[in-house]
Amino acid sequence: MHQPSGTPDWRDFYAGAPQPGHSAVPGRFGASSSSPGATLPHLQSGSQQFPQSPAPQSWGQPQWGANAPNASLAVRLKPVRGLGTATIVLGCALTGAHVLQALTSFSAARQYSEALTTWGSTAQVHTAYDAVSALTALLGLATFVVACLWLHRARGNSEVIHPAQRHDRSRFWLWVGWFVPIACLVYPYRVVRDVAHGSDSSRRLSGLPSLDLWWGLWVAGLVTSRIADRTFPWSGDPSLERLSRLGAVESLDALVTVAALVVWVGIVRWITARQEEARVGAASAPGVPPAW
């Protein structure tokens, strides 16, 4: 099909495609040559200049430049203040139950002794000490679950804040290490120690309460609790001799528990404060987008 002279053909857009009887379209792409087959200047071989469009950014992968490490840190650090507060509150409630248990143990020992002397059994005796003991068991379970949840999250944060910090035990032992014989005397201490050390990137540990003191009081509390359990067993009747020591043993256990709580609260607050400072500081760094 014949095309009128002067009408641009599709081949005019390509270099090296001369059209007989045609000249390049003047002014269309900056061509000024009137000779047939003239090539467009910006399409000449060896000097092609194509506009460079910026590479599109993928959705969900923002670029923060020099602040990318801070942004990554802000995303990976999880808040621990809520769980830390719950751990402290439940720890105080559990300790209060231990104190109340000690206070009610004296009158309970008298009632049990009278029942043993009169009927030869304590099966028909129900005291406030029994009710408080059941409450203590429930609070102990709740405190354990919440404290381990807080410790689990704090462990993850410490691995982000101080990646070089070595953790002797896996997170599995964070949960079960409190119950395994022999291991319960060592593993929980190591878990808390490594989390505390990993929460302070400066490694100064300024203001951290004594972990050794806390753990020594904790182990002492385990011993006094075991003695109290043997003094008044869950099944069977205690002897009159053991009942005479019930109040003293429960009082000693309460004192040790209170002392351990004071140090434990300081440790929880210290770890929580350090991790919250790191999280808030990373989130407020210049160039870090706000969390939605």
> b/e per residue, 73-97, with b = 16+ CB within 10 A?
bbeebeebeebbebbbebbeebbbb
Q: How many domains does the chain have?
A: 1
Is residue 18 assigned to a domain?
no
Q: Map tokens 């999880």 to a residue.
A: 78
pLDDT at residue number 62: 45
Residue 110's pLDDT is what? 93
Within a domain: 87: yes
Residue percentage of the chain with pLDDT more than 90: 50
26 assigned to some structural domain? no
Look up residue 76 and give its two tokens.
Answer: 């990976």
Could you list the residue range(s) of the whole structural domain that residue 176 is in? 77-283
pLDDT at 55 over 90: no
Rounded to the nearest 5 degrees, what angle is found at the Cα of 43, between the Cα atoms of 41 and 48? 110
In a domain, 242, yes or no: yes
What does the alpha-carbon distance between residue 216 and residue 256 come to, in Å, rounded to a whole number? 10
Query: Is position 32 within any domain?
Result: no
Please report whether residue 103 resides in a domain.
yes
Q: How far is CA 267 from the centre of its chain?
A: 15
pLDDT band for 153, please (50, 70, 90 cuts): very high
Assigned domain for 253 exists:
yes
> In this model, does residue 49 exceed pLDDT 80?
no
Q: Is 125 part of a structural domain of the chain?
A: yes
pLDDT digits (tens, 9 = 90+) for 94-125: 999 999 999 999 999 999 999 888 888 888 88
